[in-house]
Amino acid sequence: MLFGHMKKAKLFSPRDKDINFNLNFLNGQIQDKILKPNQLFFIKFYNSLLNKYNFGELFGMLGIIILFLSFKRIINIKNDFLRKSYKLSIIISSFFIIFFVFSLMDKAFKITTTKEAIVISNEINVKSSPFLASKNTIFKIHEGY
């Protein structure tokens, strides 16, 4: 039961040293070492960014970018170089705004809809299909995972 709460706490406070220490300790106590398939580079990078910052920090970054854009708009640009750099900054800032909006939605979705369970029985067989007649056991999960 504690493992599920620690993973949920890590979503809300990803850089808390106590939570990370306890989660690493609990991960060391698990018998099963289930290997997940490798992810693509940009998906791994996106997930690491999402796991590094909490919801409030992502929202703050979005606010800073929008504030930066509004200040740039207020300043009257007379110089050609500044005008060209302004157009480039609008394009880059728009990309970051879209990125942070989708990141916020993804983070909120992960926090509210992720369902996890703790195995209480001694051992559970994971099958390749949901049918009871299926004989294909892929692997076994032991208590506590």
pLDDT confidence band for 55 (50 / 70 / 90) = confident
CB contact at 8 A, 111 and 104: no
Task: Give the mean pLDDT of 30-36.
Answer: 67
CB contact at 8 A, 142 and 119: yes
Computed over every residue of the chain, the mean pLDDT equals 77
Question: What pLDDT, in 10s, does the model give residues 85-137?
Answer: 777 778 888 888 888 888 888 888 887 887 766 667 777 777 777 766 667 77
Could you tell me which residue, 143 or 138, shows the higher pLDDT?
138
Q: Which of 1-10, 66-75, 86-95, 105-114 has the lowest mean pLDDT?
A: 1-10
- Identify the pLDDT of residue 56: 82
- Identify the pLDDT of residue 1: 47
Most confident region among 6-20, 27-41, 129-143 by mean pLDDT: 6-20
Q: Which of 2-6, 82-86, 134-138 has the lowest mean pLDDT?
A: 2-6
DSSP-derived secondary structure letter, 67: H
- The four Cα atoms 125, 129, 131, 132 give a dihedral, to 10 degrees, of -20
Query: Cα–Cα distance between 101 and 31 in angstroms, integer?
Result: 39
Closest CA to 112 of 6, 1, 5, 8: 8
Domain boundaries, the chain: 38-114
